[in-house]
Amino acid sequence: MAYWFCLKHHAVEPEEGCPNKDRLGPYDTEAEAARALERAAERTEAWDEDPVWNDDVEDK
């Protein structure tokens, strides 16, 4: 079974839930889905700090 995190309702949902445009996932467990926003923030921070992906570096 797969789980999603609904961005509209801020809740974990089974496959039968809101439209995919309003969800993050799928995740293997409810616990992973519950951490969806936290995990997305962690990934964004990692990308922001990655020099390969960081295009905000000022030219000297």
Q: What is the pLDDT of residue 52?
A: 78
What is the edge-to-edge ordering of all strands in the sheet holding 3-6? 11-13, 3-6, 23-27
DSSP three-state, residue 4? strand
pLDDT digits (tens, 9 = 90+) for 4-56: 999 999 999 999 999 999 999 999 999 999 999 999 999 988 888 887 766 66
What pLDDT score was predicted for residue 57?
Answer: 58
What pLDDT does residue 60 have?
A: 47
pLDDT at 56: 64
As for how many domains the chain has, the answer is 1
Whether residue 55 is contained in a domain is answered as no
Is residue 8 in a domain?
yes
CA distances from 11 to 18, 24, 32 (A): 10, 11, 12
Any domain includes 57: no
Token pair listed for 55:
């295009």
Per-residue pLDDT band at 58 (split at 50, 70, 90)? low
Q: For residue 17, give its domain range.
A: 3-49
**Domain annotation covers residue 17:** yes
